[in-house]
Amino acid sequence: MKQLEIKHIQKLLKESIGDKTYIHCLGVMDTAIKLASKYNYDTDKAALTGLIHDCGKLKNNEEILKTAQKTGIIQDDIMANNINLLHAPLGAFIAENTYGIKDEEILQAVRYHTTGRTNMTLLDKIIYLSDYIEPNRCFSGVEEIRELAYKDIDKALLIAIEDTIMYVIENKLLLHNDTVNARNHLMINLVKNRR
C-alpha cells in the first residue's frame, strides 16, 4: 500500500479520533517540527509522526479495545488493563495499515510515544516530548520542561518520564516496564556523560 497524502491523512485522522484529539495532534506536530529543527532532524518526518502519533486514540474506549483485539494488539497484562497505553501500539498498526506508512522509525515512535523505551531514537524523543509539552498542555512545571527541551532533550525527556511515573503511581495505575527501562537508560547515559 502506498502512503497516503498528508491532506488525506488529516481528513481520515480527524474523522477517526475527533476534534479534541485532532487539535492535540496538530500541537504535537508543530512542536515536533520545532524540536526537529533544533536538533537537526528531518522536519517533514517529525511533522508526519507528530500528526499521526495518536491515530490509535479512537473516539471511544470500546472501539479501541475491539480494534486492538481484532488486530491482536494486546500484548501483555499491563496494556490489557490500561487503555491509556493501548492506543500507541494500535496507532502504529493503523499508521501502517490504514495510512500506508512503512517507515519503521516513524512506526516505532508512534508505538512508544506513551511509554518510551530503552535506547530511544531522536525521533522517539522528539515525539514523546512533543506529546508532553505541546501548546495545549497546561500543568505545573510544563513551561520549565518546554524551555529545557530546546536546551537538552535528554534532560527534558528524563524529567517528563519521571513526572509520568509519579503521576501513574499517585493515581494507582499500572506502570509499563518500558517506561522504567527508558528512565533507567537515560539515567545511565546522563551519568556516563558527566564523567
pLDDT in tens, 2-40: 676 888 899 999 999 999 999 999 999 999 999 999 999
Q: Which residues of 17-44 are buried (b: 16+ CB within 10 A; e: fewer)?
A: beeebbebbbbbbbbbbebbeeeebeee
pLDDT tops 90 at residue 181: yes
Check whether 73 has a pLDDT greater than 90.
no
3-state secondary structure of 135: coil
Written as nine digits, the cell of 20 is 479534541
- Place 195 in a pLDDT band, splitting at 50, 70 and 90: low
Report the phi/psi class of residue 141: left, alpha or beta, with left for phi > 0 and alpha for psi in -120 to 50.
left
The whole-number pLDDT of residue 70 equals: 85
Q: What is the DSSP letter of 4?
A: P
Q: Looking at residue 129, what is its pLDDT? A: 98
Whether pLDDT at 93 is above 70:
yes
Rounded to 5 degrees, φ, ψ at 13 are -60, -50
- Given a cut of 70, is residue 156 above it in pLDDT? yes
**pLDDT score for 104:** 98
Summarize pLDDT for 123-149 with one digit per residue, the tens: 999 999 999 999 999 998 999 999 999
The average confidence (pLDDT) of the chain is 93
What pLDDT score does 162 carry? 97
- Domain boundaries along the sequence of the chain: 6-194
Cα 135 from Cα 23, distance rounded (Å): 10
Using the Cα atoms of residue 9, residue 97, residue 113 and residue 87 in order, give the sign of their dihedral.
Answer: positive
**pLDDT band at residue 62 under the 50/70/90 scheme:** confident
What does the alpha-carbon distance between residue 108 and residue 86 come to, in Å, rounded to a whole number?
Answer: 14
Residue 75 has pLDDT above 70, yes or no: no
Predicted pLDDT at 1: 59
Q: Which of 4, 44, 50, 5 is nearest to 25 (CA)?
A: 50
d(CA 33, CA 50): 8
pLDDT of residue 23: 97
CATH 1.10.10.10 is held by the domain 6-194: no
User: How many whole angstroms separate alpha carbon 86 and alpha carbon 89?
Assistant: 6
